[in-house]
Each structure stands twice: as C-alpha cells, then as structure tokens.
Structure 1
Amino acid sequence: MVSASETSTTDRHRERMLEGLAASIRERGLARTQVTDIVRHARASRTTFYKCFADKESCFVELVRATTTVGLLAVADAVDPAAPWRRQVSDGVRAYFDALTAEPAIAVAVTRDLASLGARGITVQQEGIERYAELLCELTRGRELRRAGVEPLSMHAAVLLIAGVNAMVVRAIDRGEPVGGLLPTAERAVLGMLAPA
C-alpha cells in the first residue's frame, strides 16, 4: 500500500514536471522540447520524470488536462449566477479568452500539437470540449437565465458552441491573428444561441 506521504511526494514531482514542460513549451515549443528540457526546468532528474510519466506525450496530455481545469475554474468563478444573463455570458466568454491569452504558448501547443498524438490527442481534445460544454449547460440552468426566458442548452448545442469557438481560435493562431480580437464574435455566438425566443 502507498502511504499518504509517498502520494504527496509523487504529486509534487508530477506538478514540477508539468511546470517544467510548460516552461519548455514557452521557451522552445512542444515539438522541440525533450525530456532533458523538462527536467532542467523542473530541477529534477530523468529518473524522477519517468517515475511520473511514461514519456513527454503523457506529460503533455496531463498538462492539457490541468490547463483545461484551470480554465474551467476561471470561467465558473467569473460568472455571477445572480447577474443579468447577458452579463453572465459576457463574463464567462471573457474569462475563457483570458485563460487562453494568459498562456499563449500553451494555447498554441494545445491547438497545433494535440492532434499529432493521434487517437490519444483526439480523446483529450474531446474531453476538454465535453467538460466546457457540461459547464456551459450547467450555467444555462441558472435562475436568472430561466427568469429571462433563456432555455437551458442541450449538450449537443453546448458542444457545437465550444467546438466552434475552439475552431475559430485554432484558425486565428494558425494565421498569427490575435486571439483576443475574437472575443466579440464568440460572445455574439453565445448570446445568439441563448437568446429567448
């Protein structure tokens, strides 16, 4: 049986490796990052890395999941369920874009490099879309939205919105366009989907 202190130590090592990978992505991009770069930034050994992750790709998958969690928490924290519904949309969309633009190198790696992992990358990408869609569905069930006549979103509609916004962001990144400039378009799309009939 693994003790709590061993689990805590392993968790700390994993966190350091994720931070090391993020630092290396900022410095070199994911494609040029090697395990030696990760451990250099993490100030750890390769042995410690391989106790935490099978390879760089596994570490990247975990970083994507952790980044998604941070973004989800930021969106959930930004939305005041007592605020008027349009304000909730504006605050939620802005928090999503703030999370993206806070770590542009990570956003580029997620949009460009995740697909290179094949089925595993697609699964992680779909997980992220599903998690954001679930949050969006939950937020649309709020009292203020119901009072305004906004129908709760179905999971299909939420996936459509999230995947559409993600595709728009990927396109902008690929073209070297500023992601922040997409905020009004994303906000209009969400408002349009939610507008009371």
Structure 2
Amino acid sequence: MTTGSRATAGRQRPADRAGTAADDPGAFRQRLLDGLAASIAADGYRATTVADIVRRARTSRRTFYEHFAGRDACLIALLSDANAEVVRHISASVDPAAPWATQVRQAVEAWIRGAQSAPAITLAWIRDLPSLGQAARDLQREVMESFVTMVQTLCDTDEWRSHGVGPVPRQLAVMLLGGLRELIATTVEDGGEVGDITEVAVRASIAVLGPPAPAA
C-alpha cells in the first residue's frame, strides 16, 4: 500500500504519523473500533467503508490494516468487545444479597439498557453479523458461552440455593438466553421499543429459573 511506502515515508500526513508502530497499539485499536461504531450509528454497517472508519478514527489505512484484516474483522472485534462489556455491566448490576427474583429483574433490566444504549450495534448483531460466515458463527458461540457462564455464576450463590434454585443447567441457560435474544432481536427489527419487553422478559426469566413446581 502506498501509505507505507518508502516514497512517502518522509512526507507523511498527520494521520499517517499517528498510526506508526511506535504508538500504543491498544489505543489505536480502540480508536478504530470507536470509528466503526460511529459510522454504523450514522450510516449503517453495509454503507460503511474502511475509509469511513479511518476518517472517524483520525488515523490511516496502514494503521487499520496493522490491526484488522478488513472491515468484517473490525466488526467482529467490535461486537466481541461490546458483548464482553454487556456481560460486565449485567454482572455489576446484580446485587447478590437481594432476593433471587429481584436479581433476575436487575439482570434483565441491565441487558435491555445495554440494547437501548446502542441500537445501531444491536441491529448490526441482527442484520450484519450472520452474513460473515464462520467468523460469525464462532462469535455467536463465544457470546452464548459467555452468557451461559454469567447466568450460572450469578445463580450459584447462597441466596439462590436457600430457595432451592440453582445451579442452572447449561441447557436451561441456553434456552433462556436464546429466547431473550430472539425477543430483543424481533423487537428491534420491527422498530419497537426494547424497553417495552422488560416485564415479559422478567416474568419469563423468573419462570424458567425459579424453583421447580411441586409434583402433582
């Protein structure tokens, strides 16, 4: 690529100099991810180009390709980081000393707040990620496993056990999470307000995770 050639090394523009290997790679990676997120919010992922990303990140194409193989790889990284942040946010929002049903509400409300705070990223999960092939499938599996681990960890406390709830089997967690994810996805796709599903999502989660009904 010409931006990294010897011919231009002595007269790099500020954006090119900003992306040299001497700089903190983590900081530039984050700037690129932020640039992609801003472009998705403004124009959608399909209309976003690498040029849009580097312009918003105030860096160069050379720096972009030092971090990502292409636009799709940048999206995968953005969504992976976003998922990790959602898991951290949900976990931090739950008070382990609260009644178990209150904890369920805290977790669901935190998840929905996350979806509301970045609707364009939520749409990218739904509309754009599935088209990325094996990389998308790998990320979806990674995301599900991280959520399953989160649910099992949150439900494995004295408060839950004292009410005969938990530990949560993996299969049950997958069923719950898949249903909640689909509910959020269809609501966003249909142009609805994600906050409107809070009560039904809380009720369903309590029903799935709660103590088993007594035998007849």
- For the criterion TM > 0.5, the same-fold answer is yes
Which residue among 114, 121, 141 is the counterpart of 1:126?
A: 141
Contact 1:112 1:170 in 2 (8 A): no
Aligned partners of 1:125 and 1:7: how far apart in 2? 34
Distance 2:193 2:120 in 1: 13
* 8 Å contact from structure 1 (residues 133, 158) kept in 2: yes
**Structure 1 pair 143/8, CA: closer, same or farther in 2 (3 Å)?**
farther
For 2:22 and 2:208, the matched residues in 1 are separated by 44
Runs of 4+ in 1 over 6 A off after TM superposition: none
Opposite residue 46 of structure 2, the aligned amino acid is A
Tell me what 1:107 maps to. Answer: 122
Structure 1: give runs of 5+ residues left out of the alignment. Answer: 1-5
Q: Distance in 2 between matches of 1:74 and 1:120?
A: 25
Query: In 2, distance between residues paired with 1:7 and 1:194?
Result: 51
- Aligned partner of 2:7 in structure 1 is none
Aligned to 2:182: 167
TM value normalised by structure 1: 0.94
Give the alignment's Cα RMSD to 1 decimal. 1.3
Which of 172, 182, 187 lines up with 2:197 in the alignment?
182
Which range moved further: 98-107 or 167-176? 167-176
- The answer for the alignment partner of 1:12 in structure 2 is 27
Aligned residue identity for 2:147: Y
Question: 1:83, CA displacement in angstroms?
Answer: 0.8
- The reply to whether residue 138 of structure 1 matches residue 135 of structure 2 is no
* Cα drift, residue 151 of structure 1: 2.5
Seen in structure 2, the aligned counterparts of structure 1 residues 196 and 8 have a Cα distance that, compared at 3 Å, is farther
Which of structures 1 and 2 has the bigger CA Rg? 2
Distance in 2 (CA, whole Å) between partners of 1:14 and 1:149 is 45
How far off is 1:7 after superposition?
Answer: 8.9
Mapping of residues 63-74 of structure 1, within 5 Å: 63-74=78-89
Higher deviation after alignment, 160-169 or 50-59: 160-169
Paired residue type of 1:26: A
Deviations 1:127-180 (A, max 9, x none): 112111110011111110111221321111111111111111111122111111
Q: Which runs of no fewer than 5 residues in structure 2 stay unpaired?
A: 1-20
Deviation for aligned residue 1:8: 7.1
Aligned to 1:191: 206
In structure 2, the partner of 1:3 is none
Of the structure 1 ranges 16-25 and 160-169, higher mean CA displacement relative to structure 2 is found in: 160-169
Assess if the C-alpha contact under 8 Å between 1:93 and 1:186 holds in 2.
Answer: yes
- Partners of 1:138 and 1:118 in 2: CA distance: 31
Q: What letter matches 1:48 in structure 2?
A: T
Percent identical pairs in the alignment equals 36
Secondary structure of the structure 2 residue equivalent to 1:30: coil
How many angstroms apart in 2 are the aligned matches of 1:151 and 1:109? Answer: 33
Match of 1:158 in 2: 173
Which of these residues, 65, 68, 77, is aligned with residue 53 of structure 1?
68
Q: Higher helix share goes to which structure?
A: 1
